[in-house]
Structure 1
Amino acid sequence: MSYKLLHSRLYQFLRSFTTMAIAKGRPPALTNPTLVKIINQFYKFASIEADSIKHFPGYDDRNFYFRGVPTDSKKEAEFVLKMFNSLHSSHDVVVGISEIWTHIASKGFTYSSCLRNWEKKAVTFVPKSLCEEANVSGSTETYAVRILYFVSGELFDSIDKQYLTPKLMREAGTFLGQLDAALKDGFHNTAIGQRKNVDWDLSHLLHMRIHLPAMDNLSRRAMVEKIVNDFESFVQPKMPSFSRGVLHGDANGMNLIVKENESDEYQIAGLIDFDDTVLSCHVFEIAIFLAYIMIENLNPIDYPSPVEFVCTVLQGYLQVFPLSKDEINCLYYLVLGRCCQSAVLGEIAYKAEPWNSYLLTTPEKAYKLMEILLAMGKENVDMIWVKAC
């Protein structure tokens, strides 16, 4: 067998293996009747409005919005049901996430309260066999399920760009810094501390190398490889000195809730979806947030580039949660690292579910941001951000 043929077959195997690994634990795409059946089996509802059910797109889990009347309250309310990826359905971790809500509530943060099941527990473990689309009778695998009361307001990413004022951007950064400070102040959970979210924790960015064979675009693959190599050379040696703690882990404009105040200005109302929470380096939190805000604002109004656009976010964060010189110096590499994760994992997830076009929306913009940042260079980006600090 020729070298080229052997290489081609190995590449196809690795590509297939990587795609299957991403999709392996993802819950099945439930139909509305199946979802209603699961809800009624484990929760007390007088009625569920089946026509209200909407599927919220996601990478790893399944998220559904619905309206219903809980038996206890006898009043219609809005809910979000999350069915976790089976690989993330550890009982201790899911319960640990609930303990985060309790802790931040004691610090004055608003969070989405949880609807208890028949056993008055916050988390339900649904057998895979109940998900008829899975077609796995006899399986012992389970998916963790949680139902939360829907948080009213608008998503940060959904409001008109004209309302993304320096004041609101600074407030967003301040809010995130206050959240990290609150979690740093007295919160500890063993399960979360031991959690290994290899794909999404920036600590494990080198893991992206495993996914390189699944990338069809060679120029993009080379770009990702450079970013991962730079992380290994310039960030990893400094990580032992970085401040560590429990992070939200996925702060972005689709998780940040805003509301209009009496002056018709938007203000930050809360942050949802703590399901990627992990014990890691604090600087990763703001790096992730900066990456996603820039991804959604590649051509911001009245700013030369997305780098200048997020300066007030960084200012707001650092005012309440200062970072060391080394941590700030690594922001450039960390933002690029999150872009890599979002782009590569999104593409792989799409190959597992080619009908789900949502999975490609962020990757395309993430690649564009990588190109912008690499073209500007670290020195120029640092000059803008350090000046803002």
Structure 2
Amino acid sequence: MTTRPPNNLDYVKQLAKRLYNIDINYIKELISYNDRNYHLITNESKEFILKIKNQLESKNRDQIDAINAFILHLHNNGFKVTVPMVNTNAEYMSYTDIPTDGELDQINGQKSYAIILMKYIPGKPLRYVPFTPTILTECGLMLAKMTIALKDFENMSLKERQFPYSLLRSVDSRQYITDVKDLNDRQLINECLDQFESLVLLRVHELKYAYIHGDYNEFNIIVDKTVGDRDDDTDNEYHMTGLIDFGDAEYGPRVFDLAVYLAYSLLMFTAGPQILAPGFGLKGYMQLIDLDTNELDVLYYCIKARLCQSLATGAHFYQLDPNNTYVLSSQETGWPALRALHDCQPKDILNKWLNIDEYI
């Protein structure tokens, strides 16, 4: 059963007033897998995102505090991220019940949902702009910068986190395979996850670990055509302006963060063959971070595993909540990308990615 919070716009307005003393003039629900996110504009034209965590993750306050610390560390290092705001009790988080059908949902007598208010980052998700070589390279470079900035971050709660949607747990998505309708696609997922299990998980101890975002995808990367600190704001190109949704942050192989990004970079790429898209993100990333041989050896299998995880999990969550079409966002272009990748020779496609300028 899904633990997604009920959607009650009137009550969200009340929460904003009670917990943060702000009066809401505009409210819009944003897409989310299993939380609720709302774009708020106050009577004073200030903009925020109010997040209501799902019941399962709301139980673990230590991990929510750890994620807030992760975000604040990046903010203090100059990254534009969704900074949490303190409430009227001078805390970054509150717990509350959300009314639904005249009743209140509770877990073991405790208030059910964690509430966090964050600064809004103007712009639009990368998903809604052309996936050009320039923007994909820039986002790869920004991921490398973030990885470097997190080298001096430390948090034991996050380091010990066992997150169900981590790439480390991608083989668990086999439990959702019956929600995938096509039998050939089920076989494809099994083959890809078998490869990940034998060629990545069995040697994961050989990979370099770091604190990672965990879901560096086209909906969480914010872009805009105007960047205030850029010398030339008139190039009419979209540029990365911010990063949102840190709910999947963890301590894991650093190549996993890159693989997640490269998997999603495939989805909307039209500037050339779809399977070449990861070359641009890899090019940007490797301007600052040289991947070692072990990381390069597993990159291809990690990208396929993330696509499998996204496709199978999306199909499952859609069965649970057919109104949440966001969970199907990878389906249309994700399946062709996975099939095309699976037909490639790993060393051949990696060589093309590493020498992407020769091909596009």
* TM-score above 0.5, yes or no: yes
CA contact (8 A) 1:257 1:270 kept: yes
Could you tell me which residue of structure 2 aligns to residue 177 of structure 1? 144
**Mapped partners of 1:333, 1:37: distance in 2:** 47
1:259 and 2:219 aligned: no
1:193 and 2:163 aligned: no
Once the two structures are superposed, residues 93-115 of structure 1 have per-residue CA deviations (whole angstroms, 9 ceiling, x without a partner) of: 11111211221233222223333
Q: Normalised by the size of structure 1, how large is the TM-score?
A: 0.84
Could you tell me which residue of structure 1 aligns to residue 229 of structure 2? none
Relative to total residues, which structure has the larger helix share, 1 or 2? 1
From 313, 328, 331, the counterpart of 1:363: 331
The amino acid that maps onto 1:34 is: Y
CA contact (8 A) 2:267 2:334 kept: yes
Which consecutive unaligned segments of at least 5 residues does structure 1 have? 1-19, 70-74
Could you tell me which residue of structure 1 aligns to residue 288 of structure 2? 320
Could you tell me which residue of structure 2 aligns to residue 102 of structure 1? 72
Could you tell me which residue of structure 2 aligns to residue 120 of structure 1? 90
Once the two structures are superposed, residues 212-256 of structure 1 have per-residue CA deviations (whole angstroms, 9 ceiling, x without a partner) of: 344333221111111111111111222111010110000012111
Offset of residue 355 of structure 1: 2.2
Offset of residue 179 of structure 1: 0.2
CA contact (8 A) 1:307 1:384 kept: no
Give the direction of change, closer, same or farther, for the CA distance of 1:275–1:133 in structure 2 (3 Å limit).
farther
Could you tell me which residue of structure 2 aligns to residue 72 of structure 1? none
The amino acid that maps onto 2:162 is: K
**Mapped partners of 1:166, 1:339: distance in 2:** 21
Could you tell me which residue of structure 2 aligns to residue 56 of structure 1? 30
Bigger radius of gyration: 1
SS at match of 1:268: strand
**Mapped partners of 2:114, 2:278: distance in 1:** 36
Q: Normalised by the size of structure 2, how large is the TM-score?
A: 0.90
**Mapped partners of 1:180, 1:192: distance in 2:** 15
CA contact (8 A) 2:36 2:53 kept: yes
Could you tell me which residue of structure 2 aligns to residue 76 of structure 1? 45
**Mapped partners of 2:83, 2:72: distance in 1:** 9
Could you tell me which residue of structure 2 aligns to residue 236 of structure 1? 201
The amino acid that maps onto 2:65 is: V
Which consecutive unaligned segments of at least 5 residues does structure 2 have? 227-232
CA contact (8 A) 2:141 2:288 kept: yes
Offset of residue 210 of structure 1: 2.3
The amino acid that maps onto 1:112 is: T
Aligned-CA RMSD value: 2.0
Alignment map for 1:28-67 (pairs within 5 Å): 28=6, 30-45=7-22, 47-49=23-25, 52-67=26-41
The amino acid that maps onto 1:337 is: A
Moved more, 200-209 or 280-289: 200-209
1:87 and 2:56 aligned: yes
**Mapped partners of 1:78, 1:68: distance in 2:** 7
CA contact (8 A) 1:77 1:149 kept: no
- What number of residue pairs does the alignment pair up? 347
Could you tell me which residue of structure 2 aligns to residue 268 of structure 1? 240
